[in-house]
Chains A and B, each alone.
Chain A
Amino acid sequence: MAIEKLIWLIPLPPVLAFALIVLFTNKNKALSHSVAIGAAFLSWLGAMYVFLSALGVEHFGEHPYESSINWLPTGETWLKIGVLIDPLSATVLFFVAWTVLMIFLYSVGYHNFGQPAGDHDHKGLPPHGATEHGHAVLSIEPMYSRFFAFISLFAFGMLTLVVSDNLLTMFVGWEIMGLCSYLLIGFWFGKESARNAAIKAFMTTRIGDVFMLLGISYLYSTTGTLSFRAIFTVEILHTLATIPSGVFGLSAAGLIGLLLFIGTVGKSAQFPLHVWLPDAMEGPTPVSAMIHAATMVSAGVYAVIRMYPLISLDEKTMTVVAFIGAFTAIFAATIAVAQNDIKRVLAYSTISQLGFMIAALGIHAYIAAVFHLVTHAFFKALLFLGSGSVIHGMEHGVLHTGNHKVDPQDMFNMGGLKNKMPITFWTFLIGGFALSGFPLITAGFWSKDEILADAWGHGHMIIFFTLAVAAFMTAFYTMRQITLTFLGEARTPEAEHAHETPWTMTVPLIILSGFAIGYGWFGIPEHFPVLGGLVPNWFHEFVGGTLAEHPEAVEFSWVPLGVSLFVAFVGLLCGWLMYRNVKSAAEDVFQISFLKNKYYFDELYDFLFVKPIYWFSENVVYKFMDMTVINGILHLFGPSTGGIGSTIRNYFDLPIINRLIGDGSADVTYWFGGKLTRIQSGRIQQYLVLSLTALFVIGGLIYFFLLA
């Protein structure tokens, strides 16, 4: 089969799985997950085949796989849509296919497949456990099949986005993911918090989306095309860079770039639209992994990386991008330090790491941004799945003790899980170290180091120091998390009875930890001391080919490397030293309410936007404008026409027509008749006199008027 045709087919299996599960197999849980995983596997197979073939193509960036068809008739021309696999999308496709498949497999265990149905479980609420042989055991998710249908659709959205050769289908995939995140964050819709989180996620990202839609329209109307390769030609880029947009002194390219970037700010949860991502933890943990690693937030970063040739034309926009990224990186890191929920720490770390990528892109460190995107996807998927495994183990403990008041996600209820859940521990440790940038062996080190080296090498000092501090905090809160969760002694009886999770959950962890370590070796800079040059810097070569001008590798310098090593080691060490003996949350110095409450952004937005808008809608737009003013005017017509009617009747019809003319003429006739009765006396002489009088009068008149 021609490889282009195969690329068209890659996103299809999951969407077919979605349809199959929804329409036919939803009653049968085993069949449903088999369909979903089978479909994910097919897509994975296709993706691997395409990826491996791409590796064998010389100058792949100049001769990518592409194919397109006419889709929308627009006047005399057609809007084309199609697929494109170039080095960038091949790289992204690789990690998406892997992480998606792992998450699908993991979900089987996470939703307790094979366990009995719960005693009191309801659709829309997390399973509460069942009783078997007198023991409390975990119970299967009541909407098990539905879950697999939704994540299949999610995977379809992401794969569509990645293989797209144009902004429009990319946006289609983008929005389908928005829907899926809504459906999955609100998966347990019986919980008030989940419902609100779902709406918050959808609406916050939609703010970005409408800006993006404007950007797409602007780009499309200026260039007449939405295909990446058609836009990224020298002439069109030159035109876009020279046309002024009339807004903030930006060029057309700058404004389009900014609008598209706002879309990414929403999707990748950058400041100030970051508020939805931590709440997205309300969904089942595989969903968190899906959103935070494999798909949604990566899609946001992917979109700006994809549009880099356009966005990079205007330095003003790039500055905005760099500063939003750097600020988000450090801002989110400060919040992460104070969180107690194991998933929330990770959520803020995601926001922070995405900030790293965005900042990297903003300082033209294109390859570093892509590299961090990939490594982050692997180790963050690993961490989320690991945290899910921990929670799962803790739920086991909760069922054992029967104390349902214990929050299985609170790290202060854990401790000492290292021995209870060894596989989860070791894999989590690998993921955590990768996140912290533990030197040399973890993938996260290589990608983060490259960002710092680029920032230093190109003289972006503010960005460099901000990111360095953020990296320090990252190492610190990661070690805080690992220490509180796994090390030391169990702080609750539930943690004592935690249990390692089934193989469907641990196997994905092991595979992902392989990537969290190994992937970094494909991007070791050539001039790195000792290691440089041992393995060719494949990543730089391959991904760099995407751009028309292959980016130069930055000069090696000891400063960023030293800083990188320092923040990782010292951060980890501090985290361990500070938390190894902490017994409860009360002893934690970072329980600062300002940080714990995320700088009160939720409350602020609620106060500034959510409440006023509802008030405005209800009272101003609906009750005042429509019901009072507009309907008020309309209702005037009734009484006023009625008024005119009754005026005419009372002052014209009744007195003049009826009284004067109608009744009046009758009255006059009657009166006249009454008077005339007197002459009807019956006396002949009188009649004769009258007749003669009449004769003379008429005769006189005739004579006077006619004859004279």
Chain B
Amino acid sequence: MQFLNEHLLSLILFIPTFAALIMLFLPGEEVKLHRWFAFAASLIPLGLTIYLWNLFDSNKTGFQFQESYVWYEAIHSSFHLGVDGISLSMVLLTTLLTPLAILASFTVSDKVKAFFMLFLFLETGMLGVFLALDLLIFFVFWEIGLVPMYFLINQWGSANRNYASLKFMIYTMGGSLGLLLAIQMLGVLFGTYDLLALYQRWNSLSASDILMGMPVHTIKTIAFWAFVIAFAIKVPIWPFHTWLPDAHTEAPTGGSMILAGVLLKLGAYGFIRLVLPFYPLESKIFAGALAALAVAAIVFGAFASYAQTDFKRLVAYSSVNHMGFVVLGIAAAGLAAGTNDAHIAMNGAVLQMFNHGLSAAGMFFLVGVIYERTHTRNLNDFGGLFPLVPVYGGILIFTSMASLGLPGLNGFVSEFLVVRGAYPVLKIYTAISMIGLLFTGAYILKGIKSVLHGPMNEHWAHGEHKLTEINTREILVMLPLMALILVIGVWPAWILDVINKAVVALF
């Protein structure tokens, strides 16, 4: 028990990898075994995360459950892990969505073993980013996550997968070049990569000091943008977003769930964990620019989504729209740092990350459910499916409403907090973002109308095309998501309190 408590984070982090390595030795043709093994293995980190959540003391400030191991002593990088309220909620999101995505992928029949192994590797990659307290470790996991996702899209994706996977990979890596350089610079300057040490030393420099022949202010500005661009591509912020609809649309269903549910959060998490604490001054100076891009994402994301005829692309663009609110919250928090407005905006941003993870994963899964049966995603091929699949229809409407931000469900709480936090400091931007909020309604209703509503669809009603109702396994995937969507909508305090205390301590 003591071993468990002391190594909780590394266990959560490495059990998926360990499980993937075991899978290597399982007989290759036992498809069922692989599915169930991967699913069962991914439940262990979830169980441990819930255990972690219970042990976590939200009243303590700073990072808890820290572990530190010697890793690369020559350059003073150590394997340092820890969680606070913000990363804890992201870890929960990751360990929750991975088993669900695996369960959702039970229908994959091609190269099953490799598929699930990649999923488990991916989970380690994502968790590492959230748990790392060392910049180099952060970067290593940041890059590790790309590889399995590249192969998931490239090997199991749909028609245009080569283009999409390449775009995803190159774009993200291109963005992280600057990040790597900036991280190296910090390492060279301070002789450590440890986040906690860097927070202190980096911010204790005065702006007029000279480092490496340049004033600190200039260095910081350059490094700020290096960080920002890397994370902006990942979030993605407009206009770096065009990889997203391609990658999300071409990825297999489980991959899209993870992409939208967790991978996008890595970028936003980077902003919260690194950009704002390292560059409070720059965050304040450039908050307007960041907010403008966020609002562009909100508004144009909604418009672009409204323009789609491909159901999955419609959902993909909705992510651009929703993640815009996360960035708007972050921009407001950067601008108003130290005030109650900043806390509220940041609470909203973090909760929005969690909420979008739930609703986007659900939406992508539901698109997958219908795609698997009909082999089309074209909205014009649907319509009038409600009488054929009433249960599916009900679930789709519920999840869509969460995505739309209907009060009583989770999305509203976080969007309200972001708008409330941003309003006093970024009035005009917030007001413009309302256009996006309005058109969120337009594209969601367009989706429901073109899929479910209309006179009963004769094409999918009979014979070989007969559309079958959502099955038990698929309902089981949706059930935890729907439950959380409702619970957070009605009683958000259980998670928001944990986030809030970390936010108050940090910003």
Contact = CB atoms under 8 A, between A and B. Distances in A.
A189 B386 CA distance: 9
B248 interface: no
Contact of A76 (B424, B439, B454, B504): B504
A195 B304 contact: no
Report which residue of A207, A211, A625 has the largest number of chain B beta carbons within 10 angstroms of its beta carbon: A625
A634 B430 CA distance: 30
B242 A631 contact: yes
A214 B384 contact: no
Interface string B338-351: 00110110010000
Contacts of A171: 407
B456 interface: yes
Given A214-B434, A221-B424, A186 B453 contact: yes
Contacts of A218: 423
Contacts of A183: 397
Nearest to A622: B307
Contact of A214 (B386, B397, B430, B449): B430
Nearest to A206: B441
A202 B445 contact: yes
Interface in A612-656: 613-614, 616-619, 621-623, 625-627, 630-631, 634, 637
Interface stretch (B250-258, B356-364, B491-499): B491-499
Contacts of B127: none
A77 interface: yes
Given A195-B449, A621-B300, A74 B344 contact: yes
B500 A172 contact: no
Contacts of A176: 406-408
Contact of A175 (B306, B407, B424, B431): B407
A72 interface: yes
Interface stretch (B100-108, B273-281, B374-382, B413-421): B413-421
A441 interface: no
B339 to A, nearest CB: 8
A172 B341 CA distance: 22
A249 interface: no
A202 B453 contact: no
Interface string A575-608: 0000000000000000000000000000000000
Nearest to B455: A190
Contacts of A190: 384, 453-456
Nearest to A124: B387
B453 A195 contact: yes
Name the residue in B307, B344, B406 with the highest tally of chain A Cβ atoms < 10 Å from its Cβ.
Answer: B307
Interface string A211-233: 10110111011100000000000
Contact of B304 (A70, A622, A634): A622
Contacts of A202: 441, 445
B242 A630 contact: yes
How big is chain B's contact interface, by range?
35 or more
A189 B454 contact: yes
Contacts of B442: 203, 613
B284 interface: no
Contacts, number: 157
A364 B307 CA distance: 46
A210 interface: yes
B387 A72 contact: no
**Chain B binding surface SS class:** helix
Nearest to B499: A73
B167 interface: yes
Contacts of B303: 613, 616-617, 621-622
Nearest to A73: B500
B304 A617 contact: yes
Interface in B437-495: 437-439, 441-442, 445-446, 449, 452-456, 492-493
Contacts of A619: 307
B304 to A, nearest CB: 5
A122 B340 contact: no
Contact of B449 (A70, A199, A627): A199
B229 to A, nearest CB: 14
B343 A75 contact: yes
B62 interface: no
Nearest to B166: A638
B132 interface: no
Nearest to A618: B307
Nearest to A222: B424
Interface string B384-399: 1011001000100100
B308 interface: yes
A277 to B, nearest CB: 18
A423 interface: no
Contacts of B139: none
Given A72-B413, A616-B303, A630-B239, A124 B386 contact: yes
A659 interface: no
A71 interface: yes
A625 B300 contact: yes
12 contacts: A76-B504, A124-B387, A171-B407, A175-B412, A211-B434, A221-B424, A613-B306, A617-B303, A617-B307, A622-B308, A626-B300, A631-B242
Which 10 A-B pairs rank lowest in CB-CB distance, beginning with the nearest? A75-B343, A172-B407, A618-B307, A189-B453, A123-B387, A617-B307, A73-B500, A622-B307, A621-B303, A617-B303
Given A124-B384, A175-B412, A623-B307, 16 more contacts: A72-B417, A73-B500, A73-B501, A74-B343, A75-B340, A76-B343, A122-B387, A122-B456, A124-B387, A124-B455, A175-B407, A210-B437, A214-B434, A216-B420, A613-B442, A617-B304
